[in-house]
Structure 1
């Protein structure tokens, strides 16, 4: 993982983005120069072509999941997505072609180049030698924490080789598989050297009373081996801050969990620009949705509900009504669930496509919400969750968002357990929020909407 502006990117993701931008630049240079009267290496036409191609391909790639940290797609699924990307790019390429004298030749050249580029992308994703991205990881510990680290490593990142588990001095009983236990007859430093370990994750259940061989860990670090604690490990690999490894001291003395006037100003400008553009683009969809709601279930069209915002301030969130008017006729708040019978037929569709969330863009303009942030919850559930989940109130230190890191990384929550899982992603966002992370979330939201994941 590589940290850029407080957000961790997988090496494979950065490699794919860099390769795509390089190929798109070459495509723009070759095609623009070949189809102009007076070819210029970096003329206005070349820059414009590269900008449009780059923005379109980056958006499509993010929406189709090509830039995910890791993936478990089959070769056939990747090919299908590449074909879909090519079909979606065709109108963009045809629009660009109208600027050139030989429009047909330009369009065919760019289409062929994009097709080859997508073919190369699929090849890189599935046939890149594993050694180029391989990382050998040793888990220092054999308890429950070490087991969770090993399980997540094997599940979430196929480029990782789990060397094994090395027991701490005070760990008497191992809770990991026997095959993964490393011999205690060799020192930690010797095992790291012999096994060519790239990273050590310290996941001890007990870290007091001489349980950590600090000298050996320091020797490993001086030899170029990364040494990270369990909290940092999960933050880097999964984009979340695990509650079981979280402490007030780690939050206070570590980096992150801070903001300033400049960050707030930049975020506000980003919010206003994005909300204004999206409102203009979505206005026909919103008008059609309003008409269909009236035709199916009458008035009201919009649904207002009190939610908890930044610093605990209350505000009214506005959505298109997707449930019956008597959804909570008994006055008792309830979680929305899968196949909720209170949802109308149209409501199921607009929830899947996230159309019901569009009126919240006006809340972004007024400043009650942000484009990206934790999902705003009702005061009834906030009171309950604050009592049951440690550090839950931290998510209210930033503005709630129309979309968010937790929304794109975890399915729709309908229980206290789901709220705890999503909080771990919200904490990551609060700790590391930046303009770059907001842009990443916006791109991943496109993929969630296109693949219709998470909504209920």
Structure 2
């Protein structure tokens, strides 16, 4: 029916390629270095198999923390260069300093330099090949969107932001009320759909139409024909969730129950017990760190903030129950003299010392006390103030669903979304929060913890 489409790797396939080939190429390079030179610090042998395992563990861990597996960043070589240098430097350092499981330090210290350069250059060469051969725009996944009850431009922007290799070529407009004057996308007629699939090497059609009234018969017939030919036709809601890791709650209507099959982990007693046990351990550790830092923060607060070091605010917790959250002060005294308002990026009310604490997430340390009390968990939706909850629950559908689990010190929205306190930002955060509630699991929790470490180490807190 159509010409053979250009090569395209799905999101999951690209992530697997990066994770596997990073390790394989590094091990192959170290093996060749050992065979063809006098390099002897690291060898891949049966007797010292644990050297290899340790290197793989460190390489994977720090590559994740320093975002080498972030597909957006993996497509930009300048970012890859910086993240690779961070990853390999910390990997080699930890590998050398690990007792028993790593080789003894060589007498010739240049051996360590060769070890570092081999890992670094290998990853950079492979990642350059990835950008040119796999992440190149010529291998984009070309898509047509069919829709009538949504904003095509917003859909387009959301998809491109989440996955630059997901290219929406055009759309079939089934509703004359949609304003498409500002979009550069091609508008196709229903009768031309098959020709468009062939001409533009379309690999997928995304349907965001018909939730209320059903598809028009001619469009239904065209899509049925393509489907019977084995052509992929997918639901917009599912595609949006897959590529953005968010649930498009703003498009959910009377059939909302189809999109909220909450994770079984929310009722799994073993999971919840393990999570609570971990919360207690991490809160004790966090409070101990806080005790060590408090004298220094107190001094910085006297000089930079000139107000009480601690402050409390009422927030909404699980099942809508209010509680007092504890934080280190980061704003000027009487920051809300004119009434409650959202915090903003580069908020003028934040003091210079407060900006430092926010970037390092130090201001959140007192909340470990809320974790210890059981009012919060390490991972979950960030708790909001009652006045904002009341406002947002009236303007955003299903907003209160985020209160079915405990609020968290960090969460999926914090590690994935942009910082914004306005309603549009609140909607995006809710989309991430609902995704977490729907897919909550030990693996996703670990994912969030590693991304939070990346945020803290790179001082990207807001």
Same fold (TM over 0.5): yes
Q: Which residue of 2 aligns with 1:247?
A: 253
Q: Where does the alignment leave 5 or more consecutive residues of structure 2 unmatched? A: 1-9
Q: Which residue of 1 aligns with 2:7?
A: none
Out of 188, 192, 198, the position equivalent to 2:203 is 198
TM-score (structure 1 length as normaliser):
0.81
Residues 278, 112 of structure 1: CA spacing in aligned structure 2 closer, same or farther, 3 A cutoff? farther
Render the CA deviation track for 1:21-76: whole Å, top value 9, x for unaligned.
Answer: 4345557888999558995256344433433343333323x2xxx22232487533
Q: Which residue of 2 aligns with 1:102?
A: 106
The answer as to 2:360 corresponding to 1:356 is no
CA distance in 2 between counterparts of 1:335 and 1:174 reads 31
Residues 248, 185 of structure 1: CA spacing in aligned structure 2 closer, same or farther, 3 A cutoff? closer
SS in 2 for 1:185: helix
Residues 77, 257 of structure 1: CA spacing in aligned structure 2 closer, same or farther, 3 A cutoff? closer
Out of 267, 275, 297, the position equivalent to 1:289 is 297
Q: Which residue of 2 aligns with 1:14?
A: 16
CA distance in 2 between counterparts of 1:30 and 1:279 reads 48
Q: Which residue of 2 aligns with 1:366?
A: 373
Q: Which residue of 1 aligns with 2:5?
A: none
- Structure 1 position 222, deviation (Å): 4.6
Q: Which residue of 2 aligns with 1:316?
A: 324
Q: Which residue of 2 aligns with 1:58?
A: 64
Q: Which residue of 2 aligns with 1:180?
A: 186
Q: Which residue of 2 aligns with 1:336?
A: 343
The answer as to 2:450 corresponding to 1:446 is no
Matched length: 441
Q: Which residue of 2 aligns with 1:3?
A: none
The CA RMSD over aligned residues, in Å, is 3.7
CA distance in 2 between counterparts of 1:197 and 1:432 reads 30
- Structure 1 position 84, deviation (Å): 3.7
- Structure 1 position 337, deviation (Å): 3.4
CA distance in 2 between counterparts of 1:350 and 1:128 reads 41
Q: Where does the alignment leave 5 or more consecutive residues of structure 1 unmatched? A: 1-7
Out of 62, 68, 71, the position equivalent to 1:69 is 71
Residues 135, 74 of structure 1: CA spacing in aligned structure 2 closer, same or farther, 3 A cutoff? closer
Range with greater deviation from structure 2 (393-402 or 249-258): 249-258
- Structure 1 position 406, deviation (Å): 1.5
The answer to whether the Cα contact below 8 Å between 1:308 and 1:376 also exists between their aligned partners in 2 is yes
TM-score (structure 2 length as normaliser):
0.80
Render the CA deviation track for 1:285-336: whole Å, top value 9, x for unaligned.
Answer: 4553234224555664322222111111222211112234433457x33322
Q: Which residue of 2 aligns with 1:383?
A: 390
SS in 1 for 2:78: helix
CA distance in 2 between counterparts of 1:419 and 1:68 reads 23
The answer as to 2:121 corresponding to 1:119 is no
